Structure 1
Amino acid sequence: MSNSPHTDSVRALLFPGQGAQFVGMATDLFGSEPVARELFELASDRMGKDLIGLCTDGPQEALNATDICQPAIFVASMATLRVIELHGGSNHLESRATAGLSLGEYSALVHCGALRFEDALEVVIARGRAMQEACESTEGTMASILGLDLEAVREVVAEAATAGVVAVANVNAATQIVISGEKAAVALAGEKAQEKGARRVIPLEVAGAYHSPLMASATDKLRPILSEVEIQEPKIPFYANVSGARVSDPEEIRSGLIQQVESSVLWEPILRQLIAEGVEEVLEPGPGKVVAGLVRQVDRGVPTKSVLGKESIEELLEGTLS
């Protein structure tokens, strides 16, 4: 992967996470680019699943399973980078900084040279399985609260704790914050948020309570795996979900990856810091345009180029991708 430092770049590479998957994603890449197909075949072998078939034909319900979509999204992002590099587009991957949305942190860590692809793949597969098992063993859900700031959401979460486990899961924008936890507690927090003036509370269709204490069993399963993984100091500035800040120490990165499954994703603080430090454009390698949408919510003046299939890669290389 491209991981040379380019301090004069004004670009950040930001990687998508779970929820970006769709049937048909990356099919033209692994259908025509051997380097992409190799990555998907390796993942299929490690998973014991036909990842190419699931991405090509679905069904969507099967692709949505946490143990399937996490490696699928990760490999799609990595395949995109490999194809761009293979076709002489390394200059488009030069970046001032990198980060990833939850699962996307592993893509970012490979891009910046902190993790080897094969090691990250092993962890991502284990992470997806562990989180899937946690979802199946708990009754959790999530909801998006629009129109309240983080302080107000933390207040309603504290008040709703009388009904069970509930936590701040994702800080996506200043007034778009996702909560996660036991169903009764999430429902009560939603009611209290509306009482405080939330514009909307949107229940999310998810398999479980991601980024909450209900994922504790997944953390326990990941900890010994992550403790053995070799992590290098990033060659490109890397910004971590759990702190919302730049992290360069390998042991601090390791600790953050362990905490991340249960902790809040501080995405909006990451974006604000990147913009304050000179990022003027974003490249989103992988499926969907979730990252692009979140960047627009923080600063509409920062353009994001979302790239996955051959057409968008060709447009990127030709300088016509908008």
Structure 2
Amino acid sequence: MTAAFVFPGQGSQAVGMGKALAEAFAPARAVFDEVDAALGEKLTATMWDGPADKLTLTENAQPALMAVSVAVMRVLEAEAGVDIKRDAKFVAGHSLGEYSALAAAGAFSITDAAKLLRIRGSAMQKAVPVGTGAMAALLGLELEAASAVAAEAAQGEVCQAANDNGGGQVVVSGNKSAVERAVEIAKAKGAKRAMMLQVSAPFHCALMQPAADAMAEALGKTNIKVPAVPVVANVLAQPISDPKEIVKRLVEQVTGTVRWRECAAYMAGQGVTTFYELGAGKVLTGLLKRIADGATGTPIGTPDDVAAFKAKRS
């Protein structure tokens, strides 16, 4: 087993995502119907018809992205005979994608994943008043240098590395004034580019503690099983399978750094040579090329992608 299934995070959403899958495949329709039922609303209407700003709302984007990812997984199982336990060494996801990975591997039901991500998205949005927090991308600095920039910029406020995406791309998160300082310090310290991001809240930093508390409560009431294959946890960059540890790490992930570079490097170091990105977009596929030398990344999110995957396997 030299493959891993990986699942995208927020920012990969686009109006229309998953629609062609639903039209082409009954297993995909079943996933979208289950998500709509779990949330008591037609999230699929927003996913397929927009408006884009409604889909981008964190409380909608998170369950929507999970729905597309798990729909792809179910289609691959039905159409291409994929068995995650047999065909994948690991699963992993970027931020909310960790929930998609766990749902795909059977650790929780689609209904529970949708409800958890609705709570997570809503709690992350409410944790910090709009305009108080911010995030910025620092390009051309590795994690250690970016963390030093964040520490210098904090000046008594919150500023920390939120995402270590690999290829010299680190995102910092925290109080808006501190993040603005980080952009200027990063430029002075040789970053190729440093820019504020259009986000609705400062994710993956200490300001998200109220959301972490909400997730601890919600996850504590959720039935979590041992996943079919280990999930490489964002906050550890190590594989975990124990349900109690899964809860602990998902709670930590709300305020902790998404160590994506290390997650991908760990999987590559364990012999993974093929990464399949299941769901919307191909952000992770692009990042993987910069992290894991010689590994191939293949995004699967449309009926054509499914057909190409099947053709390769036959």
Quickly name the TM-score band, shorter chain normalised: over 0.9
What's the offset of the Cα at 1:280? 0.5
* 2:280 is the counterpart of 1:287: yes
Aligned match for 2:252, one of 259, 265, 273: 259
Q: Is the 8 A contact 1:219 1:259 kept in 2?
A: yes
Q: Which residue of 1 aligns with 2:122?
A: 129
Q: Matches of 2:218 and 2:83 in 1, distance apart?
A: 34
Residue 115 of structure 1 deviates from its aligned partner by 2.2
Deviation at 1:270, TM superposition (A): 0.7
**Equivalent residue number for residue 138 of structure 2:** 145
Of 133, 149, 153, the match for 1:160: 153
Cα RMSD for the two superposed structures: 1.9
Structure-1-length-normalised TM-score: 0.92
From 207, 213, 224, give the equivalent of 1:220.
Answer: 213
Query: Could you tell me the percent identity over the aligned residues?
Result: 37
The answer on whether the counterparts of 2:34 and 2:110 sit within 8 Å (CA) in structure 1 is no
Q: Is the 8 A contact 1:21 1:69 kept in 2?
A: yes
Distance (whole Å) between structure 1 residues aligned to residue 278 and residue 43 of structure 2: 19
Q: CA deviation at 1:21?
A: 0.5
1:202 aligns with 2:195: yes
The alpha-carbon deviation at position 215 of structure 1 amounts to 1.4
**Is residue 224 of structure 2 the alignment partner of residue 231 of structure 1?**
yes
| Paired position in structure 1 for 2:28 | 36
The letter of the residue matching 2:253 is Q
- 1:47-196 aligned at under 5 Å gives the runs 47-90=39-82, 94-136=87-129, 139-162=132-155, 164-196=157-189
Please list the CA deviations of residues 104-124 of structure 1 after superposition, one character each: whole Å capped at 9, or x if unmatched: 101111223322322222211
Question: How is 1:262-277 mapped onto 2 (pairs within 5 angstroms)?
Answer: 262-277=255-270
Q: Distance in 2 between matches of 1:80 and 1:36?
A: 7
**Alpha carbons 1:141, 1:206 under 8 Å: kept:** yes
1:164: how far off?
Answer: 2.1
Contact 1:18 1:70 in 2 (8 A): yes
Q: How many pairs were matched up?
A: 313
Cα distance per residue 1:60-119 (max 9 Å; x no partner)? 111111011111000101111111211133158811111100001011112233223222
Aligned residue identity for 2:270: E
Aligned partner (choices 13, 18, 26) of residue 26 of structure 1: 18
Distance 2:6 2:188 in 1: 35
Question: d(CA) in 2 for partners of 1:76 and 1:298?
Answer: 25
Q: Which runs of 5+ in 1 are unaligned?
A: 1-8
Q: Could you tell me which of 12, 32, 45 is aligned with 2:4?
A: 12
8 Å CA contact 2:27, 2:74 repeated in 1 = yes
| Unmatched tracts of structure 2, length 5 or more | none
Q: Which amino acid aligns with 2:73?
A: L
Q: Secondary structure at the match of 2:155?
A: helix
CA–CA separation in structure 2 for the residues paired with 1:125 and 1:242: 21
Output the CA distance in 2 between the equivalents of 1:46 and 1:118: 5
Q: 1:83 to 1:315 in 2, by over 3 A?
A: same
Distance 1:30 1:135 in 2: 36
Q: Out of 129-138 and 263-272, give the one that drifted further.
A: 129-138
Q: Give the letter for the 2:28 counterpart.
A: A
Per the alignment, in what secondary structure is the counterpart of residue 306 of structure 2? helix
SS in 1 for 2:162: strand
Determine the C-alpha separation between the residues in 2 that align with 1:318 and 1:299.
Answer: 25
CA contact (8 A) 2:159 2:205 kept: yes
* Maintained 8 Å contact 2:204/2:258: yes
1:319 paired with 2:312, answer yes
Mapped partners of 2:115, 2:15: distance in 1: 23
**In 1: Cα distance, 2:168 partner to 2:24 partner:** 42
Cα displacement (A) at 1:226: 0.6
Q: What is the Cα deviation at residue 292 of structure 1?
A: 0.2
TM normalised by structure 2 equals 0.94
